[in-house]
Structure 1
Amino acid sequence: MDKRERAAIFRDRLHQAMLRADITKSGLSRATQVDRSTIGQLLKDDHPRLPNAQLAADVADVLSVSTDWLLGLTNRPETPGDIVAAAMSLSPAERSSADAQLLEWHQEAAGYKVRHVPATLPDILKTERMLRWEYASFAERQTPEAFTAMRDQRALLSEGVYDYEIAIPLHEIEACAAGTSYYRDADRDMRFEQLEFLADHCERMLPRLRIFLFDARKVFSSPVTVFGPNLAVVYVGQCYLAFREVERVKSLTAHFDWLVRSAVVDARDVPGHIRGLMA
């Protein structure tokens, strides 16, 4: 890009940024501590004029834009810090499935496909008895809220508001059936009720709901949910790590697709597999 072209881009973008910031030439000259005529020369279109590095940085700082954008090196006017903040954020993760942030993300995904790798069994398909057992050490009031939230989400799924794909480690289903590991203190009747509930919904809601089982000895995934094309969330314990930058969302979508391709039990075979473990 030659000097005249870059100067024209700088002039246009400087004018845009000043309008957006509602700042005059006099106001910008005071804020950057240069003569008003210097700012005027940068805005004149009769000859190319570019600022020195110091002035370019000061102007960008005052107008809350990036120097790269002013100089035509990027089409994103935000500063690098603002871009990172917009692309990635941390949100507190409540133990309750009725977490308002989680529900808001599901509503945001209306009309899209939700891809989900749960930390245990998928919350959206848990029975009330299972939720009560899991939340026993937390506030009692959370259990009714969580169950109501999950019932509402299942209703949205049944109504076709969004499609749901879930990838679960095979050992999670096996542990629930055998009463080992995470489920070692869970009552057998409660575990089998939960597994039958899961198998029943897999049958009734196919293809809107598809569950795949993968072998965690061959492939691995942290708990993650991809809410359509614009948001992906990784669960890291006490907080959610949310990504909105398109390439990061695409990467996590590709990761989920890899889990599906690596599944040892396909969606149509999951109900029979679950009932076989129960038998």
Structure 2
Amino acid sequence: MHKRDTSDIFRQRLLALIERSGLSRSQFASRAGLDRSTLSQLLSDVNVRLPRTETIARIAARHTVSIDWLLGLSQQDQVAADIVSQMAIEPDAGSPADERLLSWHEEARGFKVRYVPATLPDQVKTEAVIAHETGRLDETAAKAWAGIARARIIHAKRTEHEIEVCSPLQGLEGFARGEGIWRGLAAGERLAQLEQAARLVDDLYPAYRWFLFDNRERFSVPYTVFGPLRAALYVGDMYFVFTSTEHIRELSRHFDNNLIRNARIQPNEAADYIRALMPEVR
């Protein structure tokens, strides 16, 4: 980011802070340890100079915002990244999906979403697979969850929204054979899942693109990057959510350069690969 860009963003966000505080400019300057003339200079359109680091830190601390946000390095003004509960469905919940997660997808409309799933991608799962995977869901809740997941990519196809998925070949192969967590899921249900996944991958291409990498060559924890806005790492019972521009860029680079660039199966090959696994279902 150029110095002019940084100073412009700082000025805009400083103005937003002043307005949000309800203070006069003189009062705001006093609380930030500035004199009125210095504040006026910082707010001037022709100014490209940033205040000293300690001044920026004092403004951030007094108004409970992050330094990254003031300098345009983050889209969120909170001091720290959010840590939120995992998307879950409770028996008495009004919605089968975490509203926070849905809002992140909505915010990312028009941007590319990069997604490394923990198992199979949510968007292609059948109701039976969701119910088996989570255990506690009844059939109605599982069906609702699956419907919401698929609605995301149908919506994406209509709005030129892109979703790229990257996951290990071994995950699909293990699913077809009923290994690991899939042990106990009936062969008929696994076959139905593979058929549905292949059909959806075909129907939704190119808005929805599923890459497959070899887990012996590459590794990744589950995460989602919601365009340039935020990235969420899945850690079992919660998400760690990052809004720092640098964190988002690093995870995007990992996805693009480490996973996709080394993918063994490309999106236009994914449906055929899935169908080729069907004879392994026993």
TM-score of the alignment, normalized to the shorter chain, above 0.5: yes
In structure 2, relative to structure 1, the CA distance for the partners of 1:21 and 1:270 (3 Å cut) is same
* Preserved contact between residue 164 and residue 208 of structure 2 (Cα < 8 Å): yes
Displacement after TM superposition at 1:219 (Å): 0.9
Q: 2:81 — aligned with what?
A: 88
Q: 1:250 — aligned with what?
A: 249
Q: Which moved more, 1:95-104 or 1:249-258?
A: 95-104
Equivalent residue of 1:226, what SS? strand
Gaps of 5+ in 1: 1-12, 33-38, 49-68
Displacement after TM superposition at 1:147 (Å): 2.5
- Percent identity over the alignment is 32
Superposed CA deviations along residues 82-129 of structure 1, whole A, max 9, x for unmatched, are: 317445110111334612111111111111111100001001111122
* Preserved contact between residue 87 and residue 245 of structure 1 (Cα < 8 Å): no
* Preserved contact between residue 117 and residue 225 of structure 1 (Cα < 8 Å): yes
Displacement after TM superposition at 1:79 (Å): 3.0
Aligned length: 234
For residues 138 and 121 of structure 2, the distance between their equivalents in structure 1, rounded to whole angstroms, comes to 21
Is residue 2:52 matched to residue 1:71?
yes
Task: Give the TM-score, by structure 1 length.
Answer: 0.73
Superposed CA deviations along residues 188-230 of structure 1, whole A, max 9, x for unmatched, are: 1111111111111112221111111111121111110011111
Matches within 5 A, 1:70-149: 71=52, 77-79=59-61, 82-83=65-66, 85-86=78-79, 88-96=81-89, 98-138=97-137, 142-149=141-148
In structure 2, relative to structure 1, the CA distance for the partners of 1:271 and 1:141 (3 Å cut) is closer
Displacement after TM superposition at 1:247 (Å): 1.0
For residues 247 and 113 of structure 2, the distance between their equivalents in structure 1, rounded to whole angstroms, comes to 16
Equivalent residue of 2:217, what SS? coil
Superposed CA deviations along residues 251-278 of structure 1, whole A, max 9, x for unmatched, are: 0100110200011111111111111121
For residues 116 and 213 of structure 2, the distance between their equivalents in structure 1, rounded to whole angstroms, comes to 11
For residues 20 and 148 of structure 2, the distance between their equivalents in structure 1, rounded to whole angstroms, comes to 45
Matches within 5 A, 1:143-158: 143-158=142-157
For residues 160 and 264 of structure 2, the distance between their equivalents in structure 1, rounded to whole angstroms, comes to 29
For residues 192 and 127 of structure 1, the distance between their equivalents in structure 2, rounded to whole angstroms, comes to 11
Gaps of 5+ in 2: 1-13, 39-49, 69-77, 90-95
In structure 2, relative to structure 1, the CA distance for the partners of 1:144 and 1:44 (3 Å cut) is closer
Q: 2:233 — aligned with what?
A: 234
Is residue 2:23 matched to residue 1:22?
yes
* Preserved contact between residue 113 and residue 227 of structure 1 (Cα < 8 Å): yes
Equivalent residue of 2:215, what SS? coil
For residues 169 and 187 of structure 2, the distance between their equivalents in structure 1, rounded to whole angstroms, comes to 19
Equivalent residue of 1:94, what SS? coil
For residues 197 and 210 of structure 1, the distance between their equivalents in structure 2, rounded to whole angstroms, comes to 15
Task: Compute the RMSD of aligned alpha carbons.
Answer: 3.3
For residues 241 and 81 of structure 2, the distance between their equivalents in structure 1, rounded to whole angstroms, comes to 5
What is the letter of the counterpart of residue 277 of structure 2? L
For residues 268 and 26 of structure 1, the distance between their equivalents in structure 2, rounded to whole angstroms, comes to 61
Displacement after TM superposition at 1:145 (Å): 3.0
Task: Give the TM-score, by structure 2 length.
Answer: 0.72
Which has the greater radius of gyration?
Answer: 1
What is the letter of the counterpart of residue 271 of structure 1? A
